[in-house]
């Protein structure tokens, strides 16, 4: 009895050693170890990114059209208040030395300064006049009075006179940024929800040997492209149904379509670009999933490898979301040129820039990389599936990818 028990223990040890060695020396185990880090990194990045983007959007710049001595006092008062109230509590001040304090028309200077201005303080410190959009003036009227009182050493309360204008470039820019963020969020949610179906479809056909039957009659490039566009068509049908139901629901609840901030290119073109950039984001991620399906032979490997790709796609989205307020800066250009973040960065550009030609170039750029990834996926599939037997499939993942 004892001898039988020891034989069982030895056999169990052999199986445990075999499985343990196979798992820890495979590349998929490395991704498995990294897996729990991605939600933590993404959570921290999302919190910091959201705070930074909101600060960039709400950052206000108020012009000063006052006599030179009074303007200097106001700047010193701001520096003093920032120490106690914080940087975001007091708007940034920009001196306007060429603007007369008595000029009755301050509207012309709101968008012609070196920075888009939220409002302009003019007249005098004793009787300041705040000119700008009604929303901005009401928001900063109290802080303007506090600045003036601090500059005058708090000798007496200051009454701020207001001068409302219809709209300013700064307020328009903020609404366009909100539209840009909304477009990016829609793209990432739809892409993350729908792109994974490409992978499940390929793995199912590999398991049932259907893909090998198709490959005997049709070139693999055509099979992969056909699968991608078939799944894209399915996704667009789903989006059409969801959008129609959402439109009916919103119309019924709010008795009409809400007045949303218009993008720079206009709503019709923006909606068309939203569909096109979703299609490109879907094709890029779907082609990458096809490559994963070509490397993986089991459901466990598929799940292990697809998670880092999904988390990586979120990091790419965070890059595009961070750059939404950095229009024309190097980080924004990187997000535009990097294929996987390009659809998200370009939809943000559509909300903020009215030139159309750049979107044609971006779509061609993204389509080129989609074809390159598909071609690479086909090569992996031919190496790992079409030329492999049962023994080859038992090789570790890193050997199947490298051909070792």
- Do 89 and 215 share a domain, yes or no? no
- Do 111 and 127 share a domain, yes or no? yes
Within a domain: residue 17? no
Which pLDDT score is estimated for 45? 59
Domain's final residue, options 167, 183, 207: 167
- Do 294 and 368 share a domain, yes or no? yes
Give the number of other Cβ atoms within 10 Å of residue 22's Cβ.
Answer: 12
- Do 225 and 144 share a domain, yes or no? no
Within a domain: residue 303? yes
Within a domain: residue 100? yes
| Residue that is written with structure tokens 């149904």 in the block | 241
Which pLDDT score is estimated for 89? 80
Domain's final residue, options 114, 133, 167: 167
Within a domain: residue 378? yes
Domain's final residue, options 119, 147, 167: 167
Which pLDDT score is estimated for 275? 93
- Do 67 and 149 share a domain, yes or no? yes
pTM strictly above 0.75: no
Whole-angstrom distance, CA of residue 131 vs CA of residue 96:
14
Give the number of other Cβ atoms within 10 Å of residue 292's Cβ.
Answer: 21
Which pLDDT score is estimated for 401? 47
Within a domain: residue 21? no
Domain of residue 125 covers 60-167
Count of domains for the chain: 2
Within a domain: residue 12? no
Within a domain: residue 15? no
Within a domain: residue 137? yes
- Do 337 and 368 share a domain, yes or no? yes
- Do 222 and 312 share a domain, yes or no? yes
- Do 222 and 324 share a domain, yes or no? yes
Which pLDDT score is estimated for 340? 92
**Closest listed residue to residue 96, CA positions, set 127, 75, 126:** 75
Whole-angstrom distance, CA of residue 395 vs CA of residue 380:
15
- Do 40 and 100 share a domain, yes or no? no
Which pLDDT score is estimated for 253? 67
- Do 245 and 382 share a domain, yes or no? yes
Q: Which residues contact 361 (CB under 8 A, 6 or more apart)?
A: none
Low-confidence ranges of the chain (pLDDT < 50): 15, 388-394, 397-398, 400-402
- Do 201 and 335 share a domain, yes or no? yes
Phi-psi region of 123 (alpha: psi -120 to 50; beta: other; left: phi over 0): left
- Do 390 and 316 share a domain, yes or no? yes
């Amino acid at each position: 009895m004892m001898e039988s028990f020891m034989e069982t223990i030895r056999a169990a040890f052999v199986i445990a050693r075999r499985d343990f060695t196979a798992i820890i020396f495979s590349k998929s185990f490395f991704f498995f170890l990294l897996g729990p880090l991605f939600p933590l990194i993404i959570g921290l990045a999302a919190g910091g990114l959201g705070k930074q983007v909101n600060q960039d959007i709400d950052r206000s710049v108020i012009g000063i059209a006052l006599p030179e001595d009074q303007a200097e006092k106001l700047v010193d008062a701001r520096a003093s208040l920032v120490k106690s109230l914080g940087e975001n509590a007091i708007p940034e001040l920009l001196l306007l030395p060429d603007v007369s304090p008595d000029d009755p028309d301050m509207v012309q200077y709101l968008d012609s300064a070196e920075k888009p201005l939220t409002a302009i303080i003019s007249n005098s410190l004793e009787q300041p006049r705040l000119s700008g959009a009604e929303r901005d003036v009401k928001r900063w009227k109290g802080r303007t009075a506090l600045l003036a009182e601090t500059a005058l050493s708090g000798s007496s309360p200051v009454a701020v006179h207001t001068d409302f204008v219809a709209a300013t470039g700064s307020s328009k820019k903020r609404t366009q940024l909100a539209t840009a963020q909304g477009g990016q969020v829609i793209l990432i949610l739809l892409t993350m929800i729908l792109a994974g179906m490409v992978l499940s479809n390929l793995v199912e056909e590999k398991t049932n040997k259907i893909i090998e039957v198709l490959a005997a009659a049709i070139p693999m490039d055509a099979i992969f492209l056909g699968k991608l566009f078939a799944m894209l068509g399915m996704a667009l049908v789903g989006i059409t149904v969801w959008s129609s139901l959402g439109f009916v629901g919103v119309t019924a609840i709010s008795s009409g379509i809400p007045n949303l901030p218009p993008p720079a290119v206009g709503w019709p073109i923006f909606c068309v670009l939203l569909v096109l950039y979703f299609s490109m984001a879907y094709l890029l991620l779907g082609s990458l999933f096809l490559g994963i399906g070509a490397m993986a032979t089991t459901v466990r490997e598929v799940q292990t490898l697809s998670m880092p790709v999904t988390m990586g796609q979120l990091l790419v989205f965070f890059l595009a979301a961070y750059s939404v307020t950095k229009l024309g800066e190097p980080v924004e250009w990187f997000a535009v040129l990097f294929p996987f973040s390009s659809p998200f960065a370009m939809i943000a550009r559509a909300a903020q820039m009215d030139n159309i030609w750049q979107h044609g170039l971006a779509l061609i750029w993204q389509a080129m990389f989609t074809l390159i990834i598909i071609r690479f996926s086909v090569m992996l599939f031919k190496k790992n599936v079409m030329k492999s037997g049962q023994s080859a499939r038992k090789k570790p993942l890193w050997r199947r990818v490298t051909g070792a």
